Amino acid sequence: MHLKSLQLIQFKNYEKALVAFSPEINCFLGINGSGKTNMLDAIHYLSLTKSAFNPVDIQNVRHDQGFFSMKGEFDKAGKSVEIQCILEARKKKQVFNNGKAYEKMSEHIGLLPVVLIAPDDTSLIKEGSEERRKFFDSLLSQLDKNYLGKLVRYQHFLKQRNALIKQFVEQDRMDKNLLEPYDVELIQLSKWLYEHRKAFIDRFKPYLLHHYAEISGEREAVEIRYESQCEKPDFEAYFYGCLQRDLILKRTNAGVHKDDFIFEIDGHPLKKFGSQGQQKSFLIALKLAQFQVFKEETGTKPLLLLDDIFDKLDDFRIGKMMELVAHHEFGQLFITDARPERTRKIMQDIEADIAYFHIEGGKVSRQE
């Protein structure tokens, strides 16, 4: 699968842009703030119907404009797939597949798998458990529409139960009969989602460990552990036993929305004991494992978006990363870098169809 061309109108800092891509490696070069990352974000939008960096759709419209439009022409297994996304102020976002609008955005998820490696990924390590759950839930949702459906249902019942608990506290009353339907659903869905997350991590971890060993030269060992309240011998009793705490805190305190994924290096928390280079290497390995899982389970190589990945990596780790590129482990790549000379030097020994694009002030020009 590859993206043949991309058209942007009033998206972020692009007034208009039309770009044709190489099916192998595409490098966006330019100073910071020129629009390199915005180009990657547009590709992310067409793949997942949302921005990777700003969840508020209207804030991705160019300043003083009332809409944005983007269109991508993809080649998937020899067939042309045209995806268009249109957002107008005060109107519902629309996504079209070969001219036909989706009724639900979730119908599109998984059609065009994409993996993004970006500087903001450090939040997966440095922030709370919610960031890590979002990452793995997004990954699972792209692979399994049934998982996505169960997750959406869980989030709906969790929101409704939290609203009901808050109402009980505000009105100084309690009715367990009203809570029971939500409790039953959340308990059942928690167990189902837990089992699927657990099974997925078992499949995912070997890829992560393999890629980290490659990038780091086996200098240190990393680990990933999945922690969940559902591991308790009687999760159902634990859930009901949290009711008083729920009322005090005005929210549900038991369920898979409290799960966490623990990252370690040499037996210690990566957040506290990993250097910047080690953390960056872990994040790249995490995303390459995502790539590998997509490739193995869907038979399709995802688009790989690499945003400023050369920063904070030493020459050794960059070299190991580029070995994978040189061996054609990936499909179509999109790379950004603020230092053109660095990218050209790194790419000079790689035998591939490489396209270089200079970006300045939302203008794109292809270079030799």
Q: Are 52 and 116 in contact (CB under 8 A)?
A: yes
State the DSSP H helix or E strand holding residue 130, giving kind and residue range, or none if neither: helix 129-143
Q: How far apart are the first and last CA of the chain?
A: 25
pLDDT at residue number 310:
81
Residue 224 assigned ligand-binding role: no
List the structure tokens of 184. 């039953």
Residue 36 assigned ligand-binding role: yes
List the structure tokens of 79. 């067939």
pLDDT at residue number 14:
96
Residue 287 assigned ligand-binding role: no
The residues spanned by each domain of the chain are: 122-299
pLDDT at residue number 314:
74
> Of 188, 114, 106, 118, nearest to 149 (Cα)?
106
pLDDT at residue number 121:
86
Residue 31 assigned ligand-binding role: yes
pLDDT at residue number 88:
95
Q: Which CATH number fits domain 122-299: 1.20.1050.90, 3.30.70.380, 3.40.50.720, 3.30.2320.80?
A: 1.20.1050.90
Residue 13 assigned ligand-binding role: no
The full 3-state SS of 308-322, as one line of letters, equals CCCCCCCHHHHHHHH
Q: What is the pLDDT along the chain (368 residues), one digit of tens a residue?
A: 999 999 999 999 999 999 999 999 999 999 999 999 999 999 999 999 999 999 899 999 999 899 999 999 999 989 999 999 999 999 999 999 999 999 989 899 989 999 998 877 889 999 999 999 999 999 999 999 999 999 999 999 999 999 999 999 999 999 999 999 999 999 999 999 999 999 999 999 999 999 999 888 888 999 999 999 999 999 999 999 999 999 999 999 999 999 999 999 999 999 999 988 899 889 989 999 999 999 998 888 999 999 988 876 777 777 777 877 777 788 899 999 999 999 998 888 888 899 999 999 999 999 87
Residue 331 assigned ligand-binding role: no
Q: Are 3 and 43 in contact (CB under 8 A)?
A: yes
pTM summary value: 0.86
Q: Provide the sign of the torsion angle of the four alpha carbons 164, 196, 138, 216, taken in this order.
A: positive
Residue 128 assigned ligand-binding role: no
Q: How far is CA 114 from CA 86, 156, 287, 330, in A?
A: 20, 26, 10, 12
Residue 33 assigned ligand-binding role: yes
How many residues belong to the chain?
Answer: 368
